[in-house]
Structure 1
Amino acid sequence: MARAFLAAVRRLIPVRAAAAPADATGLDDPAKKELAMRLVASAENSSLDWEAQYAYIEDIGDGRGYTAGIIGFCSGTGDMLDLVELYAGRRPGNALAPYLPALRAVDGSDSHEGLDPGFPDAWRRATGDREFRRAQDHERDRVYFGPAVRRAKADGLRTLGQFAYYDALVMHGGGDDRASFGSIRARALGRARPPAEGGDEVAYLHAFLDARVWAMRQEEAHSDTSRVDTAQRVFLREGNLDLDPPLDWQVYGDGYRIG
């Protein structure tokens, strides 16, 4: 990383970001996790009410089939199948169980074969069951939230960096294609070192967000990068590395505030 670039980045950061307090909380603090869920909901569902999204389901035309639930589980990427299998184990004979053969068949594709027309209604009915909502929480934490926070902490990142990892893993998944979370992180590491390796946290996060924007632009359905440009990048430029309220941001031109 060029010294001139690092100096320019540091000039953008207010004094409060100069040093991390020893007791700084991470994203797994309950209050910070609630913030993370609301931030993701603003981008995924244009709402801060993330708990209303358990029942959400639609095909957004991104090649992943149905997208549903609090974290955008997809019928074409395997995480929806894992969720419904978990739910079936906890609640045999539930409304979604009859669709398990179809979910297995469409995994890896955008097909609705065997799911239409009844699957969306069955999903919405299932959300009336507390056990299904708990299953969604479990899979969110197992597949996305937990791995993202652990990886970010290992890289020496504070709360904002942990959220940046989480949001990227939610959208891009943990596969091995060039737009996956792992590939995004690898591109960032090619430009800057994370704090755990003696690097500058702000410079590293700018490199990570640059790589994230590049990955988003590889897919037409995700080419609007405002969830980075007018949200995460705003917090970074403000020096809010602990993601402390008040937070003001925009996604898709809509403004949000958590005070």
Structure 2
Amino acid sequence: MNRRFFLSLTAGAAGAAGWAVLSGCSSATAAAPRPPGLADPARKHVAEAIISSFENSTTELPYAAAQRLGDGRGITAGRAGFTSGTHDLLLVVRRYEQAAGGSTPLTKYVRPLTRIDVQAAEGGDKESTRGLDGFEDAWAQTSRTDPRLNQAQDAVYDDLYFRPSMDQAARAGVTTALGQLALLDTGVQHGVSTGPDDLPALITETGPPSGDEPGWLRRFLDIRREHLENPAYEETAEVWRESLPRVDTLETLIDQQRLDLATPLEWTFAGDRFSLA
């Protein structure tokens, strides 16, 4: 994923969301049931599997993965690509320590991660991995043997990406699982803060909902495509243009009217086919 800035928890309070889809008879009207959104754990699982296919070429969440990608952000680890250069990897390690109630196999890395975090926040070197020798092996082994690390990853992911994206979906009146997936995927890649390419800015540019969620989503994805092709920050340009197939996949799911993300579900991303039974 392509977080450009030092992350901050800037989720706003969720507003009231949705619109009534009415079906009428001669004497009364009643609200038709809406396709469930990502508040449904099964739909959230499908959405996260699709995002993982975009980012990791697998529907499995890579909790134990940790590597140095040479992308200017140090070490990338875990289910959401937390990195040592963008604050969120430190958040996971600290959350894990809190859950464990004391020292963990990753505790010795808190000090160097904090140092890197501070210098990144001050505009310094985000790529530094000084003091992180052996981190990748320690992370992978701990992820496989202590479920509290993976639970910490889930908690930080929800704090940084899922809940802020769902708050934005509520404000925009996006209620379907597919619509919320489109906003969540944008939040994960673009960020959920105040940057010109971040999720809130793209929603504002799309305009208010008109009662036609698929039509609104198409406009939103058109605007996202424009930002991927012409990002505000040149440093993201190459990687973001490689992400254009994410928009293609989401548009195809709209065409197929898979608003509820019900399984079985198949999709294609960048020429590769994925499915959930």
Structures share a fold, TM > 0.5? yes
- The 5-angstrom pairing of residues 157-236 of structure 1 reads 157=174, 158-189=176-207, 193-194=208-209, 198-217=210-229, 218=231, 219=236, 220-224=238-242, 225-229=244-248, 231-236=249-254
Deviation at 1:227, TM superposition (A): 1.6
Residue pair 1:178, 1:215 contacting (<8 A) in 2 also: no
Q: Secondary structure at the match of 2:35?
A: coil
Q: Taking CA–CA contacts closer than 8 Å with sequence separation of 6 or more, which of the two structures ends up with the larger relative contact order? A: 2
Which residue does the alignment assign to 1:4?
A: none
Change (3 A) 1:54 1:35: same
| Aligned-pair CA distance for 1:223 | 1.8
Q: What displacement does 1:154 show?
A: 3.1
Change in 2 beyond 3 A, CA 1:87/1:124: same
TM-score (norm 1): 0.81
Asked if the contact 2:267/2:273 (under 8 Å) is kept, the reply is yes
**Which of 82, 101, 107 is 2:111 aligned to?**
101
Deviation for aligned residue 1:44: 1.3
1:55 match: secondary structure: coil
RMSD of the TM alignment (CA)? 2.3
State the shift of 1:18 in Å. 10
Question: Structure 1 residues 21 and 242, CA, compared in 2 at 3 Å: closer, same or farther?
Answer: farther
Corresponding residue for residue 14 of structure 2: none
Distance 1:173 1:48 in 2: 22
Q: 1:60 aligns with which of 54, 66, 69?
A: 69
Structure 1 residue 34: deviation in Å? 1.2
1:110 correspondence with 2:126: yes
Q: TM-score, with normalisation over the residues of structure 2?
A: 0.77
- Secondary structure (helix, strand or coil) at the match of 2:63 reads helix
More helix by share: 1
Distance 1:211 1:149, change over 3 A: same
> How is 1:63-74 mapped onto 2 (pairs within 5 angstroms)?
63-74=72-83
Is residue 83 of structure 1 aligned with residue 100 of structure 2? no
Select which of 129, 150, 161 maps to 2:146: 129
Q: Deviations over 1:113-161 (max 9, x none)?
A: 3244311112112202111111111111122112212321332211111
* Residue aligned with 1:54, SS: coil
Residue pair 1:26, 1:32 contacting (<8 A) in 2 also = yes
The corresponding residue for 1:140 is: 157
**Structure 1 runs, 4 residues or longer, greater than 6 Å off:** 17-20
Shift of 1:247: 2.5
For 1:185 and 1:58, the matched residues in 2 are separated by 33
Of 262, 265, 270, which residue of structure 2 is paired with 1:244? 262
How many angstroms apart in 2 are the aligned matches of 1:176 and 1:33?
25
Distance in 2 of aligned mates of 1:243 and 1:27:
10
Q: Does 1:34 align with 2:48?
A: no
SS at match of 1:248: strand
Q: Deviations over 1:51-91 (max 9, x none)?
A: xx111122334433322211121222211111111112222
- Stretches of structure 2 lacking an aligned partner (at least 5 in a row): 1-20, 24-30
Q: Which runs of 5+ in 1 are unaligned?
A: 1-16
Bigger CA drift: 103-112 or 139-148?
Answer: 103-112
